Structure 1
Amino acid sequence: MSAENQKHIPSTHDSEHDERNDNLKIYVDGELLPKQDAKVSVYDSGFMMGDGVWEGMRLYKGKLAFVDEHLERLYESAYFLDIDIGVSRDEMKAILKLTLDANNMSDNAHVRLMVSRGRKTKPFQDPRLSQFGSTIVVIAEHSVVREDTANTGVTLATVPIVRGLPTTQDPKLNSHCKLNCIMALNHALKAGANEALMLDPH
């Protein structure tokens, strides 16, 4: 399918338009910044190397669904990658609440929590070059699934890109490096599907 035709395939990440998302406050390392001013350094290891972990959560009726399970995976992934998040789980919950409250959110919101190894002194992969502590970013958006997607569902295409082995890139880690998933979705879109069905190496 041509690139032009792919533009008309609905994304599973689409949501109903909400003007409130134009004026969000984003949490960046202890500050709540207007959306247009929220930035990290070009030397940040997450931007430069995909060196970080993340979680995506939904807010329903004032509660983040499965928040303890999400934080368990976040902290386990960071431990596996030798990333010191720098705050406790309770402190992270407080950061999430602070961000939600700043945006007057109590229901139907999506939260993306991202933690990188932090800013580097030089643009190379050596993790010891990240010498300034972790970078923590929280993006919370008002998010309701598109009505047409809810009514019609989505289509899948089985793709040749497979999930990684634990000895290469462990798929159990929600790392910032999503390149294999992006490649898989590109294959699915070219096949006219909404999403990719990835198999394991076996």
Structure 2
Amino acid sequence: MRTVYVNGDYLPENEAKVSIFDRAFLMGDGVYEVTSVLGGKLIDFDGHLKRLDRSLNELDMQKPEAFDDLLAIHRELVRINDVTDGMVYLQVTRGAPDDRDFVFPDPETTKPTLVLFTQSKPGLAQSPVADKGIRVISIEDLRWHRRDIKTTQLLYPSMGKMMAKKAGCDDAWMVEDGAVTEGTSNNAYIVKGNKIITRALSNDILHGITRAAVLRFAREAQMEVEERNFTIEEAQGADEAFITSASTFVMPVVEIDGVTLGDGTPGARARRLREIYLEESLKTAI
């Protein structure tokens, strides 16, 4: 049984409790981060902490009292739960007022809720899926327009993954005004020649921590990067495609809406970027 963290206490998971009046439960009023663990060390932790800080500020949400202790809490959960490879999930909510109300509660009387737990995934970096690539479908992007904030409002992304599953595929790319925004839980890319193309940062997509690292490594490897919109049709005609996220790292895409890319196997640049990302990230893991 896992040990989890709830508002200052380390508890067996079956003893952890959050109020039914917590605003994340009633309103989806919460933000989260997921940090990967490889070899017992945290990947890109500083980036995740900075994005958490930004999400809280964008929603005018208080920092939890333990904000400055989050690294120590992450490490302790990894230690207690003996996680070699896996993830640490963190969620901050606006807290649990005395009753339900649309108006934000008084921060003097309602403190944020802080929850963390681990997920053990042995061999996370050696995923066999990366060796064969994934297949995606396209769906309409029906989410709200502050996708740059990593909120717990994940119903539509979950629906998107179910649409993909029903279609016999692995994931979905969302499309708005004719252009791909992102995947259900990842940033999306295509490759043409030596050029990596991905949507520019804005309120329309999540500012991926893995995205930032991968684009930096790509430039250092003399790959050209172009941040602009692209269509599904353009993606289907690309040499390669891939996604990035904290849990999949760099994952090749080999099929889009039934159209096979190249010879149907992971492209050379996606494979190389995955190798570089894992190698360089492990050097700075903490």
Into which bin does the TM-score normalised by the smaller protein fall? 0.7 to 0.9
1:54 partner SS = strand
For 1:123-134, what aligned pairs fall within 5 Å after superposition?
123-128=100-105, 131-134=109-112
For 1:84-103, what aligned pairs fall within 5 Å after superposition?
84-87=62-65, 89-103=67-81
Normalising by structure 1, what TM-score?
0.78
Question: Structure with the greater relative contact order (CA < 8 A, sep ≥ 6): 1 or 2?
Answer: 1
Judged with a 3 Å threshold, the aligned counterparts in structure 2 of structure 1 residues 41 and 88 are, in CA distance, closer, same or farther, namely closer
Judged with a 3 Å threshold, the aligned counterparts in structure 2 of structure 1 residues 129 and 184 are, in CA distance, closer, same or farther, namely farther
**Structure 2 equivalent of residue 158 of structure 1:** 138
2:164 partner SS = helix
Contact 1:53/1:176 (<8 A) preserved: yes
What amino acid is aligned across from residue 57 of structure 1 in structure 2?
T
**Structure 2 equivalent of residue 188 of structure 1:** 164
What amino acid is aligned across from residue 179 of structure 1 in structure 2?
L
User: What is the alpha-carbon distance in structure 2 between the residues aligned to residue 87 and residue 199 of structure 1?
Assistant: 39
**Structure 1 equivalent of residue 88 of structure 2:** 111
**Structure 2 equivalent of residue 5 of structure 1:** none
User: What is the alpha-carbon distance in structure 2 between the residues aligned to residue 54 and residue 79 of structure 1?
Assistant: 13
What amino acid is aligned across from residue 57 of structure 2 in structure 1?
Y
User: What is the alpha-carbon distance in structure 1 between the residues aligned to residue 166 and residue 115 of structure 2?
Assistant: 32
Once the 2 structures are TM-superposed, how far is the Cα of residue 88 of structure 1 from its aligned partner?
Answer: 6.0
Once the 2 structures are TM-superposed, how far is the Cα of residue 91 of structure 1 from its aligned partner?
Answer: 1.3
Deviations 1:69-103 (A, max 9, x none): 00101011001101112336531112212222221
What amino acid is aligned across from residue 158 of structure 1 in structure 2?
S
User: What is the alpha-carbon distance in structure 1 between the residues aligned to residue 16 and residue 129 of structure 2?
Assistant: 30
Contact 1:156/1:195 (<8 A) preserved: yes
Flag structure 2 segments of 5+ consecutive residues without an equivalent.
180-286
Contact 1:161/1:183 (<8 A) preserved: no
**Structure 1 equivalent of residue 29 of structure 2:** 51
CA RMSD of aligned residues (A): 2.1
User: What is the alpha-carbon distance in structure 2 between the residues aligned to residue 126 and residue 98 of structure 1?
Assistant: 36
Higher radius of gyration, 1 or 2? 2
Contact 1:163/1:198 (<8 A) preserved: no
Contact 1:163/1:200 (<8 A) preserved: no
Higher normalized strand content (fraction of residues): 2
**Structure 1 equivalent of residue 38 of structure 2:** 60
1:126 partner SS = coil
**Structure 1 equivalent of residue 129 of structure 2:** 149
Normalising by structure 2, what TM-score?
0.56
Q: Paired residues, what number?
A: 175
Contact 1:77/1:174 (<8 A) preserved: yes
Contact 1:161/1:184 (<8 A) preserved: no
Once the 2 structures are TM-superposed, how far is the Cα of residue 132 of structure 1 from its aligned partner?
Answer: 2.5
Is residue 72 from structure 1 mapped to residue 72 from structure 2 by the alignment?
Answer: no
Is residue 121 from structure 1 mapped to residue 93 from structure 2 by the alignment?
Answer: no
**Structure 1 equivalent of residue 211 of structure 2:** none
User: What is the alpha-carbon distance in structure 2 between the residues aligned to residue 48 and residue 70 of structure 1?
Assistant: 25
Flag structure 1 segments of 5+ consecutive residues without an equivalent.
1-22
Identity within the alignment, %: 29
Once the 2 structures are TM-superposed, how far is the Cα of residue 126 of structure 1 from its aligned partner?
Answer: 1.5
User: What is the alpha-carbon distance in structure 2 between the residues aligned to residue 176 and residue 147 of structure 1?
Assistant: 26
